[in-house]
Structure 1
Amino acid sequence: MPDERLVAALGEAYDRGTRVVALCTGAFVLAAAGLLDGRPATTHWMHADELARRHPLVDVRADVLYIDDGQVLTSAGKTAALDLSLHLVRRDFGAAAANGLARRLVAPAHRAGGQAQFIESPAAPRGSGGLAPTLQWARSRLDRPLTVRDLARHAGLSDRQLLRRMHAEVQAGPLSWLHQQRIARAQELLERTEASVEQIARSCGLGTATTLRRHFHRAVGVSPTAYRATFRG
C-alpha cells in the first residue's frame, strides 16, 4: 500500500481540480486513493488482473495503451507512458509541439489511446509431447482451411477430447486458437515483409483484405496499415 500521506495528498489535489496522471503501475496508487473508483483505467497488462483483484470498483481495461478520462488519466507500460505524455502535450500545447517532442524522443508522434497493447501471443507448448506436434502442424498450414475435425484427426483424438486438451494446454478452444494464430501471423508479416494486405490475408487463411482488416482491428485495435506504420515507420 502507498504511504497514507501520499494518498491523502492525491485526494486533496483531485478535490482542487488538479489533473492526475498515473503511468504504468502508478494506477495502483490512484486506486488506493479512490480516484479510480467507477472509472475506466489501465496499467501494464502483466499487472491488470492484480489491479482488478485489489480494487474491484475500478473498470480495469488491459487491452489499451492509455485512457484519458478527463481529470484522471492512466497508461500501460513504459512506452505507453510516453504515448500518454505526448497526448497530454498535444492536448495542452497542440500537435506541432507534440510532434517536435516525438521527433526528439524518436517515438511515434501519436498512437491512439484505444489502440491495443501489443502483447505477444501466448507461447505454444514446447517439446514433442501433448498437442505440440499438432499445433505446429496447424501453424504450418494457416494459409489453408482448417477445421476442428482436421486438428482432432491429426492428434488422434475425438473433437471433444481435443477441446478439453486445448483448454488445458493453451487455454483456448481450437477455433479461437486458430484465429489467434492467424492474427499473430498477420502481425509478423506486417512487421517483417512488404507484402500487401491482400497477400497477407491469403497467407494467413483470412481470405480477403476486407476480412483481415475487420478481424485485425477487432483483435489488435488498429488497422493493419496503422500497425505496420508503428513497427516499420
Structure 2
Amino acid sequence: MTIFGFASVTHADLTEFLNTVTEIWTERFSGVANVHKDVELVDLSNSLRQLNLGPIDKADRLFLICSGNPALAAGLAGLLHHIESLHGSRVNLVLTHLSEEGVAQAFKQAVDRPIFGIVKDTQDARREMEQLVEALVYEYVAVRLEERRKDEVRDLVLRILGAQRLVVGPSRGIEAGLDQLELPFGIRWIFQEFLQLRTRLGQPVDKALEDLLPLAFAGDGGAVLARQLALETEVLRVLRGQPPQSQA
C-alpha cells in the first residue's frame, strides 16, 4: 500500500482518475470479476494531520492506495522509491512500514498491512498525479499478466506430465505431451534438447518445463530459447574443464 500526498488535488480529482483506471483494467481484463477491488482509495488527511510527522504538513491532501495483492504491493514499493529518486528534494519518503511508532495508531482502523508513503510539495501535482496513475495501471497490468502467464504455463506442464503418465516410457511420454502444444519443428527440437540437458543435470522435469515453456512461446521463432541453450551448454563445458565451443 502506498500513501501519496498531492498538493492542490482534491479527493474528487483522484477518485475520477481511479475510476478511469478501473475502466482501463476492466477493458484489459474482461471477465475478471471485481477487478477494481484490488485497489482501494482512502482519504486519511485528517488522521495524519493530528500527528507530528513533519513533511506531511506540506501536502494539502493525503490518500492511501491499498493493494491486497502482495506482488502489486511490492511493485508499488519499488515505484515509490523510483518517484522519490526522480524528484530528489521535492519528495520526502516519510513512512516505511505500518509498525513505526505513532504511525500505526493513525492507520489502525484503516489497514493493518505494510505501508509506504511519500509527500509531494510541487506545483505540478495534477500532471504528476496523471503520471502516477499511468504507472499504477502499468504495474497492475504487469502483475496480472505475469500471474496469468504462470497459470498458463502451469496448465501446460500438467498437460504434458499427464500425457507422459499415459504413455509407456518417460521419453515418449514427454514427446506425446509436446505433440499437444503443436510447436514448430525447429522450436520443438531446441526445446527437447534443452529439456534433456536440464533433466540430465538433475532438475525435476516439472520445474524444467516451467522454466522453458515461456521461452518456447516467446514469439521470436525460438531465438531466446536457442540463445539460452547455447549459453548454458557453454557454461557446462567450462565447468567440466572443456574449451568453449568456439575453440573446440
Q: TM-score range by the shorter chain?
A: under 0.3
**Which gives a bigger RCO, structure 1 or 2 (Cα 8 Å, sep 6+)?**
2
User: TM-score, normalising length from structure 2?
Assistant: 0.24
User: TM-score, normalising length from structure 1?
Assistant: 0.25
Give 1 or 2: higher strand fraction. Answer: 2
